Amino acid sequence: MRSWQGDGIFYGADYNPEQWPEQTWAEDVELMRRAGVNLVSVGIFSWALLEPAPGRFEFGWLDRALDLLHDGGVRVDLATATASPPPWLARAHPETLPRRADGAILWPGGRQAYCPSSPIFRERSLALVEAVAGRYAEHPAVVMWHVSNELGCHNVHCYCDVSAEAFRRWLRERHGDLDGLNDAWGTAFWSQRYGDWAEINPPRTAPTFANPTQQLDFLRFSSDEQRAQLRAEREVLGRLVRQPVTTNFMIGTGIKYLDYHSWASDVDVVANDHYLTAADPQAHVGLALSADHTRGVAGGDPWLLMEHSTSAVNWQPRNVAKTPGQLRRNSLAHVARGADGVLFFQWRASRAGAEKFHSALVPHAGPETKVFREVCQLGADLKALAEVRGSRVDAEVAILFDFEAWWGIELDSHPSVDVHYIDRLAAMYGALWRAGVTADIVHPSTDLSGYRLVVAPTLYLVRDADADALRRYVEQGGTALVTYFSGIVDEHDHIRLGGYPGAFRELLGVRTEEFFPLREGERINLDDGSTVDVWTEWLHPAGAEVLASYADGPLPGVAALTRNQVGAGTAWYVGTRLDDAATDRLVARLVTESGVRPAAAAPTGVEVVRRRADDHSWLFVINHTDADARLAVTGTELLGGARCDGELVVSAGEVAVLREQPAAEAD
């Protein structure tokens, strides 16, 4: 790993000078200095300009832009520029274009129109990386390299013949021989047995449900193909440059098909892009979840927020603008949760192109605007927070997350279309957020021994080793909560026999003999007053204590919530979809019983998170409510906006960061 941190918090944006006449560039740098911007990502979509014809490179404009930035003291995260191929590539090699499952070609004219398995794309893109890296390896402005951009955002699944060949190669690696593949895919079913590798295709549009393991393996393959591009570009950079390398992940914006837990080791800097779902009034909770997941992917280390928006985006149905103060709350929430850099898409709002209505640091209306004023304020805030750089976030709770479990649980022909992977994750996370408790979102193979509480929401697919690790964690004194439709299948999507929830049956001390999903909109009651919907199951306690049962619905009297003593620890199971109030009550009870402590006692809606270094800790307090908040905490407030004399008063919508000295007590 190459070290990537600067002397403070990075602050900046994607900067696309090629969209503007050069006269504008000087004003850009002047405004960047005014705003405190110290890092910009350059060249992300510049391939067509840098290589206007095959093998003919034109670097003059980029030379001038980088020199200007350097003279202005702005550092550069330089793109390999491979994110979107120029039109000449598809014209010369139409076979590089991706195909959908139904065979339709995805044409150039947008972006990312390439087949991820195309050897021609790979060769041309790496030639570009060689050229760019060769030219700018020693440029004094460049402090970081940015591979491609949001790999797999639009072209993650390609079903063309080139991809089919690559898929077969990948399957040989994974399964060894056809017997292995036939076993793993369960091809005795529906006359699917393969006698020759050439018979196997990606799961193209079929008359009915495609083989689920074929689908799952194709999703794994597709994530690996995108990762292979990252690794190939990184290999070139590894030879030619000495700066750290990153690429921007898309964790927590609904992007499902890239297994970032497996990609993290391929970058020096875990970087993420996050955009609020404007329609969601609680979008700041989703933001926190995304940040905590990014930190989990980064193994708890600081990470970089590569993109978010100063205000509205352009790609949601209704692109709601941020209210005054929201930009600051959003940005500092990422910092609270481990970001050591806050960047945006993009520096200056475009005049032309598909993203011209996307907000930026410099809006169409110019710098005399709410957005640019808030941008300058944020620059000052981040400067004041320089000392938190490198510190880590306190978390006593782990939530297990596995992209493969997400893929598996949402395949077709399952008991209910109302079971969604993110649903219970978000519900459990939301309850913790409201309780002021920070959680790490981690892969099930993570060492759990340091956590007081581990939550496994709808962990449908689980490997034996990971299920065993959870059992050992509980035996040794941990507290675990597992929710319905967990532990159901192994990594081949084969059912674990003997009763549900398969892999977790013994841990939880229950045995479910049949699922009873509810009808659309049907809501029933538990005997403790909670209501539930979507899911019920015919569960038999097998050692576990019953805490609540169904009062009505298809299974009156059957257990819905159980607790099992295992070794020195406790394993809880919730076999149904609790309403939000019941989820809050359950999580509050688990927090208390497992000894988890909130970062600070704060009113609901006031976000509290602690970062920690050897001698100091910092308490971030973000007031999302419209009332002033008072917290009984002491320390030195760093942003200069909040009073702290015996108690901290954080006004409605404001943010405070306290340096606590000595550091607040940890374990």
The set of catalytic residues is 150, 307
Bridge partners of 342, per DSSP, are 11, 305
- For residue 381, the minimal CB distance to ligand GLA (Å) is 23
- For residue 14, the minimal CB distance to ligand GLA (Å) is 6
Task: Give the separation between CA 501 and CA 499, rounded to whole angstroms.
Answer: 6
DSSP per residue, 384-434: HTGGGTT-EE---EEEE--HHHHHHHTSSS-S-TT--HHHHHHHHHHHHHH
Query: Which residues, including other chains, have CB under 8 Å from residue 256's CB and lie 6 or more apart?
Result: 403, 406, 407, 410
Answer yes or no whether residue 150 interacts with ligand GLA by CB under 6 A.
Answer: yes
- Identify the residue among 345, 460, 516, 572 touching ligand GLA (CB under 6 A): 345
CB 308 within 8 A of CB 272: no
* Shorter beta-carbon distance to ligand GLA: residue 217 or 273: 273
- For residue 306, the minimal CB distance to ligand GLA (Å) is 8
* Shorter beta-carbon distance to ligand GLA: residue 331 or 446: 331
* Shorter beta-carbon distance to ligand GLA: residue 151 or 655: 151
* Shorter beta-carbon distance to ligand GLA: residue 266 or 355: 355
Residue 92: phi and psi, rounded to 5, are -75, -30
Answer yes or no whether residue 440 interacts with ligand GLA by CB under 6 A.
Answer: no
* Shorter beta-carbon distance to ligand GLA: residue 352 or 465: 352
Answer yes or no whether residue 249 interacts with ligand GLA by CB under 6 A.
Answer: no
Q: How far apart are the first and last CA of the chain?
A: 28
Answer yes or no whether residue 15 interacts with ligand GLA by CB under 6 A.
Answer: no
- For residue 346, the minimal CB distance to ligand GLA (Å) is 7
Helix locations, 247-369, DSSP H: 260-263, 283-297, 326-336
Dihedral sign (CA 443, 448, 453, 454) = positive
**Sole residue written with tokens 């959680």:** 439
**Sole residue written with tokens 């598996």:** 408
* Shorter beta-carbon distance to ligand GLA: residue 150 or 607: 150
Do strands 643-644 and 648-650 pair parallel, antiparallel, or not at all (unpaired)?
Answer: antiparallel
Answer yes or no whether residue 471 interacts with ligand GLA by CB under 6 A.
Answer: no
- For residue 314, the minimal CB distance to ligand GLA (Å) is 7
* Shorter beta-carbon distance to ligand GLA: residue 273 or 440: 273
* Shorter beta-carbon distance to ligand GLA: residue 80 or 594: 80
Task: Give the separation between CA 571 and CA 49, rounded to whole angstroms.
Answer: 58
Answer yes or no whether residue 149 interacts with ligand GLA by CB under 6 A.
Answer: yes
Task: Give the separation between CA 568 and CA 551, rounded to whole angstroms.
Answer: 32
- Identify the residue among 122, 358, 496, 511 touching ligand GLA (CB under 6 A): 358
- For residue 16, the minimal CB distance to ligand GLA (Å) is 9
Answer yes or no whether residue 47 interacts with ligand GLA by CB under 6 A.
Answer: no
Checking phi first, is residue 350 left (phi over 0); if not, alpha (psi -120 to 50) or beta?
beta
- Identify the residue among 313, 587, 591, 648 touching ligand GLA (CB under 6 A): 313
- For residue 353, the minimal CB distance to ligand GLA (Å) is 10
CB 566 within 8 A of CB 475: yes
CB 487 within 8 A of CB 471: no
- For residue 150, the minimal CB distance to ligand GLA (Å) is 4
Answer yes or no whether residue 273 interacts with ligand GLA by CB under 6 A.
Answer: yes
Answer yes or no whether residue 334 interacts with ligand GLA by CB under 6 A.
Answer: no
- Centroid of chain to Cα 626: 29
* Shorter beta-carbon distance to ligand GLA: residue 253 or 583: 253
* Shorter beta-carbon distance to ligand GLA: residue 150 or 233: 150
* Shorter beta-carbon distance to ligand GLA: residue 245 or 518: 245
Do strands 531-533 and 439-442 pair parallel, antiparallel, or not at all (unpaired)?
Answer: unpaired
For the segment 582-621, give every residue that binds ligand GLA (CB under 6 A). Answer: none
- For residue 44, the minimal CB distance to ligand GLA (Å) is 6
Answer yes or no whether residue 307 interacts with ligand GLA by CB under 6 A.
Answer: yes
Residue type, 646: G
Query: Which residues, including other chains, have CB under 8 Å from residue 199's CB and lie 6 or more apart?
Result: none
Task: Give the separation between CA 217 and CA 209, rounded to whole angstroms.
Answer: 15
- The residue among 557, 550, 661 whose CA lies nearest residue 614 is 661
CB 151 within 8 A of CB 258: yes
Number of residues that bind ligand GLA (CB under 6 A): 9
- Identify the residue among 10, 121, 260, 275 touching ligand GLA (CB under 6 A): 275
Tokens representing 27 are 């004003």
- For residue 83, the minimal CB distance to ligand GLA (Å) is 8
- Mapped onto helix, strand or coil, the DSSP state of residue 345 is coil
- For residue 242, the minimal CB distance to ligand GLA (Å) is 26
Residue 421: phi and psi, rounded to 5, are -60, -45
Give how far Cα 531 sits from Cα of 18, 484, 523, 536, 559, Å. Answer: 56, 16, 7, 12, 14
- For residue 307, the minimal CB distance to ligand GLA (Å) is 5
161-175 helix and 212-240 helix, angle to the nearest 10 degrees: 90
Do strands 655-660 and 39-42 pair parallel, antiparallel, or not at all (unpaired)?
Answer: unpaired
Dihedral sign (CA 441, 446, 448, 450) = negative
* Shorter beta-carbon distance to ligand GLA: residue 358 or 610: 358
- The residue among 548, 542, 550 whose CA lies nearest residue 586 is 548
Do strands 303-307 and 269-273 pair parallel, antiparallel, or not at all (unpaired)?
Answer: parallel
CB 257 within 8 A of CB 159: no
Do strands 142-146 and 75-79 pair parallel, antiparallel, or not at all (unpaired)?
Answer: parallel
Count the helices and strands in the chain (H runs, E runs).
17, 28
| Residues at the site binding ligand GLA, with contacts judged by CB under 6 A | 149-150, 273, 275, 307, 313, 345, 355, 358
